[in-house]
Amino acid sequence: MTDTTERTALVDDLLARMTTKQKVGQLIQYFYFSLPEGAGEGIDPFISRQPQAVETALAEGSVGSLLFVTDPAETNRLQKLAIEGNEHGIPLLFGFDVIHGLRTIFPVPIALAASWDADTIERAQTVAAREARAVGIHWAFAPMVDIARDPRWGRIIEGAGEDPLLGSVVAGAQVRGFQGEELGASEHIVAGPKHFAGYGAALGGRDYDEVDLSDQEFWNTYLPPFKAAIDAGAGNIMSAYMDLNGVPASGNHWLLTEVLRDALGFEGFVVTDANAAKDLETHHFAADAADAAVRALNAGVDMEMGIFQPAFANLIEAIDDGRVDTARVDEAVRRILVVKEKLGLFEQPYVDEADARRVLADPAHRDEAQRAAERSAVLLRNEGGILPLDPDSLGSVAVIGPLATSQRDTLGPWVFDFDLGETVTIAEGIATRLAGKASVVVEQGVAEPKRTFPSMFEQFGDTSPSAPADFDADAALDRAVRAATDADVAIVVLGEQQDMIGENASRSDLSLPGDQQRLLEAVVATGTRVVLVLMNGRPLDIRWAAENVPGILDVWYPGTRGGSAVASLLFGDTAPAGKLPFTWPRTVGQVPIHHAITRSHAPQNQDKRYWNEESTPLFPFGHGLGYTSFEYAEVRVDAERVGLDGTVTVSVDVANTGDRDGVEVVQLYLHQRFGTSSRPLRQLAAFERVEIAAGQTETVAFRIGPDERRYWSAATRDWVLDATVFDVWVGGDANAQAHAEFTVG
Ligand code: BGC
């Protein structure tokens, strides 16, 4: 194994002087809960005693990092306790789930991915980093770069969807946004891509359940986004919870050392997911907590994210009796101290609280969030050009649905430090946009849908709104139908509440929860024009809507300024240009589903694999409409044949045939006809987001070289480049038609 750990004089000196207890302390991260007022009723008593226990450990110099503190006065106070708790003045590293913003909430990660726009994504995480750093947070447990092909898995919302190339571009952009030019850049924080590795392939889409991944899927599909994040300089990696092919990820030496360090060249530090070191015992892998600590450390974990009593506390004894090597402990401590040094925490461990308030209130951050929301929305259907709506020709608009007025749901899951008061709902955004033009009537229509089993975030006081006990369902539906009947257009806002998606939020079906389907059908039956606005982080079963509702705009969970962004899209101030980062199934029975399937026996029937329903998706990967139209001319290749390491330039003219300027994400799909392994029928190999003025044509060129063609083959158990023939298609989604071919070798 190559030792990639960086050495510095400061850290060498510290290591020479630290006690074993202090060293082990650096390897432990504690949750520190300051529960919101009123929250925590019935909570595990351990959690309420947590602050005192952690503060005692801080005063003893036995803590390397804390998570979940976001108040700058608190980060300063706890930092002081830590620094004074050890004679070396070693500061704490504060980590937090800065997933899609801290105070300014951006659209959820899957939405950002739907922009297919690295610049927008990098800018979003730059803002998030700036806010986090201002309050004393040094490290984000993000981006989540797990590939997800099964939308039953709620954490599909936290990633970039199904595709390794899109996932890699998004991962790199997020890391650059969080970290800036280099680790330690001012107003930036450490990025912690997670969850290493394969977590998105949970059996049955059930969060935390085991993952059984073939080697070729592992290397070709699930690892590339991690590689991209590491190549972008990520300072941390989080190891996953689940068993990977029978060995828990957080105790898996092959995964955390041979793959992560040796094959991917990762130089930063590895933290476990919450409690995942201790969990090695729960998994029936380690004999007890002490064995769990030893095996996690020896596998390659540097820091344990501990909730209560950390397993790593046992390492002191394990060092004494030789079950772990002191060199391995020093290596882990070194990696953590080097990051603290790079961030400048030895010189400036505290933050300026007044400065933090100013940064959190920066109006430019809200503008960025709105821009990102506008760029993330995906126009799924636009029959008869119902969108954009013309604000000047409307007399009255009905805004209907339980999500239209919910600030909390507008923000989406995985946010904690938001400001509900400044959150613009879709109903508000529409009302503001139409003020002085049209009347806006808002009706809930049906009760807020509810989970059958509560969300784990409820215990922390984070809940979506609920219907009052005396909610009169019939009356609410009647009012909504009347409002729709009287309106020129009905905008129906439906989807999942934010606690129905995210961690611990898997679902066994994809229907619109609660009575929302009934509401939609009742509104459509009025004969008024209907636009469906979807709030979701996974594809939902909208087969009925896809045939009966002319306009469908997917706005995900659009964030702090979501309502303003949605209004600007609906009324044509901006045009949607987002594209689906996943294949949208017709029904849950089709999942897992993705575009890069291989050609198999009876390929003529590949669209009819089920006898009861088409096996094609409802919307293909990469799908998304705009307010203009594009035409693709013939695809050109600059060489019909190149050598094995040669590069072909593929170009195509794309014409904006509408009367409005527009943005198209031009996508190139590749197919290898024969070779060492069977390769996907189509696989995204390149894309570019281009602005094309009305009536204009742009030429888009892609270079397809060895990097785009190389893959890991289970036949040779290695990376290969085949001499073969390639098909290439270029277009606006995975059903692209414009075709060419070239030969390699
Ligand atoms: C999640 C991680 C998260 C951590 C800390 C875990 O349950 O899996 O993604 O970063 O909690 O909140």
Protein residue closest via CA to atom 7 of ligand 1: 274
Q: 274 CA to middle of ligand 1, Å?
A: 6
322 close to 166: Cβ distance less than 8 angstroms: no
**What does R_g of the chain's alpha carbons equal in angstroms?**
26
Say yes or no: CB of residue 194 within 6 Å of ligand 1: yes
Report the nearest-CA residue for atom 10 of ligand 1: 141
Residue 253 phi, psi (nearest 5)? -60, -40
Helices vs. strands in the chain: H and E counts, helices first = 23, 27
Angle at 62 between CA 243 and CA 319, to 5 degrees: 65
146, 207, 243, 273: the active-site residue: 273
The token pair that represents 325 in the structure block: 């090597």
- Sequence letter at residue 107: P
Residue 504 has φ and ψ, to the nearest 5°, of 60, 35
Ligand 1 atom nearest residue 195's Cα: 9
Is 503 close to ligand 1, i.e. is its CB under 6 Å away? yes
Structure tokens belonging to residue 420: 């509900």
pLDDT of 36 reads 55
Q: Estimate to the nearest angstrom the gap between the alpha carbon of 242 and the chain centroid.
A: 18
- What's the 240 CA to ligand 1 centre distance in angstroms? 9
Which distant-in-sequence residues (6+ apart) come within 8 Å of 57 by Cβ?
Answer: 25, 28, 30, 63
Atom in ligand 1 nearest the alpha carbon of residue 68: 12
As a whole number of angstroms, the distance between CA 418 and CA 411 comes to 8
Please tell me the predicted confidence (pLDDT) of residue 41: 58
State in Å: Cα 234 to ligand 1 middle.
Answer: 18
| Ligand 1 atom closest to 241 (CA) | 8
- Which residue's CA is the nearest one to ligand 1's atom 12? 97
Give the dihedral of Cα atoms 345, 346, 352, 353; nearest 10 deg: 70
Place of tokens 């897992």: 592
What are φ and ψ of residue 672, in 5° steps? -95, 125
Ligand 1 centroid to Cα of residue 482, in Å, is: 45
Give the integer Cα–Cα distance in Å for 7 and 62.
23
| Euclidean distance between CA atoms 744 and 681, whole angstroms | 18
- Count CB neighbours of 639 within 10 A: 13
CA 581 to ligand 1 center in whole angstroms: 23
Give the pLDDT of residue 50. Answer: 76
Q: Is the CB of residue 101 less than 8 Å from the CB of residue 124?
A: yes
pLDDT at 4: 58
Pocket test for ligand 1, best of 68, 272, 503 (most atoms within 8 A of CB): 503
Residue with CA at minimum distance from ligand 1 atom 2:
273
pTM of the model: 0.97
- Cα of 30 vs centre of ligand 1, distance in Å, is 12
Per-residue model confidence (pLDDT) at position 739: 98
What's the gap in Å between 48 CA and the centre of ligand 1?
19
Q: Strands 551-554 and 378-382, how do they pair? A: antiparallel
Contact criterion met (CB below 8 Å) for 728 and 691:
no
The pLDDT tens digits for 210-222 are: 999 999 999 999 9
Q: Residue 659 in 3-state DSSP?
A: coil
The 10 Å Cβ neighbour count of residue 181 is 10
Closest-CA residue, ligand 1 atom 4, reads 274
Closest C-alpha residue for ligand 1 atom 8: 273
Ligand 1 centre distance from Cα of residue 250 (Å): 14
For 88-163, list the strands marked E by DSSP: 93-96, 139-140
Ligand 1 site, residue 55, Cβ cutoff 6 A: no
Q: List all residues 6 or more positions away from 37 whose beta carbon is below 8 Å from its beta carbon.
A: none
The best mutation among 97, 99, 194 to test binding of ligand 1, ranked by most ligand atoms within 8 Å of the C-beta, falls on 97
Which of 155, 273, 455, 459 maximizes ligand 1 atoms within 8 Å of its Cβ, making it the mutation to test the pocket? 273
CB 487 within 8 A of CB 394: no
Query: What pLDDT, on a 0 to 100 scale, did the predictor assign at position 683?
Result: 98
673, 726 in Cβ contact below 8 A?
yes
Question: Which residues are bridge partners to 170 per DSSP?
Answer: none
417 is catalytic: no
Closest to 377 in 3D by CA, of 576, 542, 163, 519: 576
Residue nearest to atom 11 of ligand 1 (CA): 274
Cβ of 141 below 6 Å from ligand 1: yes
Sign of the dihedral through C-alpha 585, 588, 593, 599: negative
Q: Which two tokens stand for residue 231?
A: 């190549």
207 CB near ligand 1 (under 6 Å): no
If one counts every other C-beta atom within 10 angstroms of the C-beta of residue 400, the result is 31
For residue range 673-709, what is the model confidence (pLDDT) as tens digits?
A: 999 999 999 999 999 999 999 999 999 999 999 999 9
| pLDDT at residue 347, rounded to an integer | 97
Amino acid letter, residue 552: I
DSSP 250: G
Burial of residue 723, with CB atoms counted within 10 A of its CB: 0-12 exposed, 13-18 middle, 19 or more buried = exposed
Pick from 65, 96, 145, 305 the residue to mutate for probing ligand 1's pocket: most ligand atoms within 8 Å of its CB: 305
- Name all contacts of 282-291 with Cβ < 8 Å and 24+ positions apart: 283/243, 283/248, 283/251, 285/243, 285/247, 285/248, 285/251, 286/251, 289/314, 290/314, 290/317, 290/318
**195 CA to middle of ligand 1, Å?**
9
Instruction: Please name the residue whose Cα sits nearest to atom 6 of ligand 1.
Output: 274
Alpha helices in 267-344, H assignment, sequence order: 279-282, 289-299, 315-320, 326-342
- In total, the chain counts a number of residues equal to 745
Pocket test of ligand 1: the residue of 32, 98, 141 to mutate, having most ligand atoms within 8 Å of its CB, is: 141
Ligand 1 atom showing the smallest separation from residue 192 Cα: 10
CA–CA gap between residue 581 and residue 577 (Å, rounded) = 13
Residue identified by tokens 């190559």 is 2
Count CA atoms within 13 Å of residue 693 on its CB side. Answer: 1
Query: Distance, CA 96 to ligand 1 centroid (Å)?
Result: 9
Q: Which residues of the chain register pLDDT less than 70? A: 1-4, 34-49
Ligand 1 in contact with 273 (CB < 6 A)? Answer: yes
Q: Tell how strand 636-637 and strand 662-672 pair up.
A: unpaired
Cβ(97) to ligand 1 under 6 A? yes
Residue 449, classed as helix, strand or coil, is coil
Residue 237 Cα to ligand 1 middle (Å): 12
Atom number of ligand 1 nearest to Cα 142:
10
* Cβ of 271 below 6 Å from ligand 1: no
C-beta of residue 310 within 8 angstroms of C-beta of residue 277? yes
Atom from ligand 1 closest to the CA of residue 144: 9
